A and B are shown apart, each in its own frame.
Chain A
Amino acid sequence: MITGILLQTVQTLLSILLAPLLMGWVNQCRAWLQGRSAPPITQPYRTLRKLFNKDAVIAHSASPLFRFAPYMIFACMALAAGLVPTIANDLPFSPAADVIALVGIFALARVFLALAAMDIGTAFGSLGARREMLVSFLAEPALLMVFFTASLISQSTELPIIVQTLAHKDFVIYPSMAFAAVAFWMVSTAENARIPVDNPTTHLELTMIHEAMILEYSARHLALIEWAVALKLFTYSVLGIALFVPWGIAQRGDFAALPLALVAMLAKLLVGGAALSLQEAVSAKVRLFRAPEFLGTAFLLGVLGMLIHFLLEV
């Protein structure tokens, strides 16, 4: 139990600390693909340190909710990161929340961000909040469908058990999981505000979704949100790895496997981050009202995955 808690804490802290690195890697890859000279991979840490040291500038009309939200969002994302098996599978905290609760945590963070965006009362804040909720109301059920497919296969909604089932069956490709994987990839790009749904590097307010919501944040509040965003990308990445390519993860009590698991996870993250930057380099951001079509497709793919599970795999 003690070692379990220790492992849980270490793994969560590792996720929190490594998250900006993944962000740096994605930015670096994208810069290479776009033929620019890339910033160092540690650039996100420097940005965070700079932001933490600055004085916070807050609008006159901000309510306490506005100052509370960054902490809430960061706490939610840290919690989510703690729930996902990253290098070790059996974690003492995981019975506290299953995959449905995980979706709930993401939703909680998102609602707080949207509310904070509306708090200042600028046109862009509420515009961003509205668009974010529009994207999420389709992304969230699609994500649930992906989880449902996985949990129908493993007869459980507990992440460690899902991962264990998927990692330990003989190498069988589930057709339903193929659909789920595509849906999950689409949802992840939307939920993490990446191209083609949103552009994380845009400077044009009218096309912003995520950036429009955090326009008013500065200094430590912005740092917490940026960090939470990096953590969210990290969590989605390890979630995708755990669901679709879980091989190599250390099972309960198997401490000897931990170093290998860490290396395997880092390698998968490198590949995943490169794939994300490739997608961002070759596609353009779609018009806002094409985003529901994009996510509707993801939703349908998720439902199809479940149906195929019933048709072929039961």
Chain B
Amino acid sequence: MNALSILQSADLASLAWGGILFWLGLGFAGLLLQRSRSLVGLILPLGALGGLFMAGMGLSALLLPSSAIVLPIGLPDLPFHLRLDPLSGFFLILLGSASFGVTLYAWGYFKNLAAAPLALLTLWYHLFLAGMATVLLADDAYAFMVAWEVMALSSYFLVTTDHDIPDIRRAGFLYLLIAHVGAVSLLLCFGVLQGGHGAYTFDYMRHAEITPYWASVAFLLALFGFGAKAGLVPMHVWLPEAHPAAPSPVSALMSGVMLKTAIYGLLRVTFDLLSQQFGWWGTLTLGLGLITALYGVIFAAVQSDMKRLLAWSSIENIGIIVAAFGLTLIFYTDGKGALAALTMTALLYHAFNHAFFKGLLFIGTGSVLHATGERRMGHLGGLIRFMPWTAWLTLIGALAIAGLPPLNGFVSEWLLLQAFLLTPGLHQPYLNMVIPVAAASVALAAALAAYVMVKFFGVVFLGNPRDPSLHEAHEAGWRERLGMLWLAAGCVLLGLFPSWVIAWLAPVVQQLTGQTLINDAPSATSWLMLAPVSAQRASYAPLVFFAVVLVTLLLVFVWVRRVYHGRIRRADPWDCGYPEQDARMQDTAEGFGQPIRQIFESFMRVERERPDPFDRNPRYTSASLDKIWFIVYEPIAKLAGWLSNQAGRLQHGRIQWYLIYSFATLIFLLVFVTR
């Protein structure tokens, strides 16, 4: 309590701003210290500590009243406002704790980089972190947009770290383009939100009176803008391109943390800045979220590049989060505050979980990439023998993301499914009908996620190495392992102690929905057992569950060893009488995804290249491409190309014509503007 009172006297928001300045300072320090490799090497571990500090700030923000500061920077008369309230605090914990693990990992991952490129990388890296933190703290539209742009641009430079590869340049451009289309939409959204006062601080916006019509416009603009950042279908096309292109720690941050800033923005605008909400917003976002979840997981199942698979899986998880958001809105506008609190808890919990397991999986692929130089799953395999640490830690992440008990992914999906089961109380009967179907799609997405993770882990880490060079694969260094260990521990602890996590989430949920869970009365077993509504309704005690699994496991093991024996003989595997088997005959990534491709082919554009029967050197390739790209984006790109060609006709390169243009413009302005 003493520490708390000290924190209270010092201003939390200023402290958090200090943390941001620390990150900025670290970033620019790299440029100055380029001479000394050892000094530059210290920047990343310091940045990791900064992450821990930010997480601490966020944690105290959950316990203390919100604090605000006005910074003397920005335009004249338009200073930056920062505010640290429970909502910002929660996302700050997410940012800080996930980035701590990822940055520790990055410290090892980039250890072979020379001083100059490392300095440049750490500059963008820390700008990215600082940008995200400022987005979370911003209390006026101006600061928000500036931070949003810093975040987008620095991540663009991180994505294009390997800019000598054309595909990566292309991915980076696509990312930049869609990020800016989204940013324009956000700008318009804030323009609507200020309601004609011309005041852009969030405080004014909260009290601005806007008509229901304009409120809906603002919500839709926010949904588009933040949806483009989060990778909501159909604005998702950049995500599977850009996230895999970045170096793995950056992919981990982008998928694990940056997507959550969009969720933060959506929550901030909908539940804080807008003073009224409508039920149809919830139905719309629920539908969009479910489509995104299913679309993402289906495409994840047919990917053959491991990082791309994870990027698609991020789309799925964002879909689940947005579906939870939609359900929250439905409950909230229906006056079911306590149920809204339940879904909001599930939403925040899943967002937090996703930061940990997706971060873990992405850095796991980073270690594989480092050790083998290979991203295509069809060229990997058997790595559990050469990199056991990476493999087992990644397995924890894979099981967690597949939503298996007792890990963390299960808890948030459990909460969400419980919420679906509580819907019969809703006023609109048609919603009652729709929601079972929605629950079915969430269950389907979760089951498919298990498919995807078996594919991911099985093809990369199990079986025989598909390439002889894999036998030289080396284990990740201790710094990488430390980073992975941190994130894996997060996956386990968040899964085993859900009641504690939910108690921490309570202030955030209270702030957004004005309610807490129905069953928040502390009892003797509440630390052990999760029972969000009542113990009669539903309960889950992961610690008991885990202990019983562990004890049964040990008992069975001891019993088998005691009563029988532990003798083992090694032999060749069963070859069906066909001795010439090799590692290439295992399922490839394409092979493992083939059933899904066959079932869901109508969503994809499958391009196959089949060999000729007489071909001496037969090759078979197949790619499952995103149909939305061809239906939506290509026509837009063609239209944009056509329009710019038409505009290009004005350019002749002859000075007479340009003088005539100027003259005509002048006449036009004189005639029409002077009036």
Which residues in A have some Cβ–Cβ distance to B below 8 Å?
Answer: 52-53, 55-61, 63, 65, 71-72, 74-76, 78-79, 82, 93, 95-98, 100-101, 104-105, 107-108, 110-111, 114-115, 118-127, 129-131, 133-134, 136-138, 140-141, 144-145, 148, 151-152, 155-158, 161, 205, 215-216, 220, 224, 289, 292, 299, 302-303, 306-307, 310-311, 314
List the A side residues contacting B418 at CB < 8 Å. Answer: 100, 157
Which residue among B443, B545, B591 has the maximum number of chain A CB atoms within 10 Å of its CB?
B443
Given contacts A96-B540, A114-B454, A310-B432, contact A59 B571 (CB under 8 A): yes
Contact present for A307 and B560 (CB under 8 Å): no
List the count of A-B residue pairs having beta carbons below 8 Å apart: 253
Q: Select B587's contact among A58, A115, A127, beta carbons within 8 Å.
A: A127
Contact present for A59 and B433 (CB under 8 Å): no
Contact present for B581 and A122 (CB under 8 Å): yes
**Interface mask (B395-429 → A, CB under 8 Å = 1, otherwise 0):** 10001001111000010001001101100100000
Given contacts A105-B405, A129-B458, contact A111 B450 (CB under 8 A): yes
Contact present for A156 and B458 (CB under 8 Å): no
Q: Does B598 contact A (CB under 8 A)?
A: yes
Q: Select B556's contact among A71, A101, A119, A205, beta carbons within 8 Å.
A: A71
Given contacts A107-B450, A144-B443, contact A126 B591 (CB under 8 A): yes
Contact present for A134 and B541 (CB under 8 Å): no
Write the nearest CB–CB distance from A180 to chain B, whole angstroms: 12
List the A side residues contacting B433 at CB < 8 Å. Answer: 307, 310-311
Partner-binding segment picked from B48-56, B76-84, B354-362, B379-387? B379-387
Contact present for A303 and B537 (CB under 8 Å): no
Q: Select B573's contact among A93, A144, A216, beta carbons within 8 Å.
A: A216
Write the nearest CB–CB distance from B104 to chain A, whole angstroms: 26
List the A side residues contacting B549 at CB < 8 Å. Answer: 75-76, 79
* Residues of chain B from 537 to 551 with CB closer than 8 A to chain A in the complex: 537-541, 544-545, 548-549
Contact present for B463 and A104 (CB under 8 Å): no
Contact present for B576 and A96 (CB under 8 Å): no
Contact present for A119 and B570 (CB under 8 Å): no
Given contacts A56-B567, A126-B592, A130-B592, contact A65 B447 (CB under 8 A): no
List the A side residues contacting B545 at CB < 8 Å. Answer: 79, 96-97, 101
Given contacts A141-B440, A310-B433, contact A96 B548 (CB under 8 A): yes
Contact present for A95 and B529 (CB under 8 Å): yes
List the B side residues contacting A101 at CB < 8 Å. Answer: 405, 410, 414, 540, 545
User: Binding site of A, secondary structure by majority: helix, strand, loop or mixed?
Assistant: helix
Closest B residue to A114 by CB, please name it: B454
* Residues of chain B from 248 to 275 with CB closer than 8 A to chain A in the complex: none
Given contacts A133-B450, A152-B424, contact A158 B564 (CB under 8 A): no
Write the nearest CB–CB distance from B366 to chain A, whole angstroms: 21
List the B side residues contacting A144 at CB < 8 Å. Answer: 417, 439-440, 443
Q: Select A299's contact among B404, B440, B454, B538, beta carbons within 8 Å.
A: B440
Q: How far is the CA of A151 from the CA of B419 in the complex (A)?
A: 12
Given contacts A79-B549, A136-B447, A310-B436, contact A59 B573 (CB under 8 A): yes
Given A56-B567, A93-B548, 20 other A-B contacts at CB below 8 A? A61-B382, A75-B553, A79-B552, A95-B531, A96-B529, A96-B548, A97-B541, A100-B418, A100-B540, A121-B382, A121-B463, A122-B585, A130-B594, A148-B436, A155-B537, A156-B537, A157-B421, A158-B538, A303-B440, A307-B433
Query: Could you say which interface size class chain B belongs to?
Result: 35 or more
Write the nearest CB–CB distance from B264 to chain A, whole angstroms: 28
Write the nearest CB–CB distance from B162 to chain A, whole angstroms: 31
Given contacts A114-B458, A216-B573, contact A141 B463 (CB under 8 A): no
Contact present for A126 and B458 (CB under 8 Å): yes
Q: List 30 A-B contacts (CB under 8 A).
A: A57-B569, A60-B572, A61-B464, A72-B553, A98-B538, A101-B545, A104-B404, A111-B399, A111-B402, A114-B454, A118-B458, A119-B462, A121-B381, A122-B574, A122-B581, A122-B585, A123-B581, A124-B576, A125-B463, A125-B586, A130-B594, A148-B436, A158-B537, A205-B576, A220-B564, A292-B595, A302-B440, A306-B439, A311-B433, A314-B432
Q: How far is the CA of A141 from the CA of B448 in the complex (A)?
A: 10
Contact present for B568 and A136 (CB under 8 Å): no
Contact present for A119 and B592 (CB under 8 Å): no
List the B side residues contacting A56 at CB < 8 Å. Answer: 567-569
Q: Select B443's contact among A63, A75, A140, A310, beta carbons within 8 Å.
A: A140
Q: How far is the CA of A302 from the CA of B565 in the complex (A)?
A: 46
List the B side residues contacting A152 at CB < 8 Å. Answer: 421, 424
Contact present for B448 and A137 (CB under 8 Å): yes
Contact present for A137 and B421 (CB under 8 Å): no
Closest B residue to A293 by CB, please name it: B599
Q: How far is the CA of A309 from the CA of B530 in the complex (A)?
A: 27
Contact present for A158 and B536 (CB under 8 Å): yes
Contact present for B463 and A118 (CB under 8 Å): yes
Contact present for A63 and B385 (CB under 8 Å): yes
List the B side residues contacting A104 at CB < 8 Å. Answer: 403-405, 410, 414
